[in-house]
Amino acid sequence: MSNIPQELRFTKSHEWIRREEDDTLTIGITDHAQALLGDLVFVDIPEVGEECAVGDDVAVVESVKAASDVYAPITGEIAAVNEKLADTPELLNQDPYGDGWIFKIKPADENDYDGLMDADAYQEIIAEDES
Partner 1 sequence: MNKHTPLYDMHVSLGARMVDFGGWDMPINYGSQIEEHHQVRNDAGMFDVSHMTIVDLSGDGVRDYLRHLLANDVARLRDKGKALYSCMLTEQGGVIDDLIVYYLDDAFYRMVVNAATRDKDLAWLEKQAADFDVEIAVRDDLAMIAVQGPRARDKVHQALGTEAAPLAELGVFFMHQVGDMAIARTGYTGEDGYEIILPAGQASTFWSQLLEAGVKPCGLGARDTLRLEAGMNLYGTDMDESTTPLESGLAWTIAWEPVDRDFIGRAALMAQRDAGVKQKLVGLVLEDKGVLRNHQKVIVDGTPAGEITSGSFSPTLGKSIAFARVSVDIGSQCRVEVRNKLLNARVVKLPFVRNGKICI
Residues that bind partner 1 (CB under 8 A): 35, 38-39, 41-42, 44, 60, 62, 64-65, 67, 86, 93
CA distance 17 to 9: 5
Q: How far is the CB of 27 from partner 1 (least distance, A)?
A: 20
Q: How far is the CB of 63 from partner 1 (least distance, A)?
A: 8
Instruction: Sheet containing 67-71: give its strands across.
Output: 40-44, 57-63, 67-71
Query: DSSP label at 77?
Result: E
Specify the residue, 38 or 115, whose C-beta has the smaller distance to partner 1: 38
Q: How far is the CB of 102 from partner 1 (least distance, A)?
A: 16
Specify the residue, 38 or 55, whose C-beta has the smaller distance to partner 1: 38
Nearest residue to 30 via CA among 82, 58, 71: 71
**DSSP-assigned beta bridge partners for residue 67:** 62
Q: What is the dihedral of CA 29, 64, 78, 7, to 10 degrees?
A: 10
Specify the residue, 24 or 68, whose C-beta has the smaller distance to partner 1: 68
Q: How far is the CB of 35 from partner 1 (least distance, A)?
A: 8
Specify the residue, 64 or 127, whose C-beta has the smaller distance to partner 1: 64
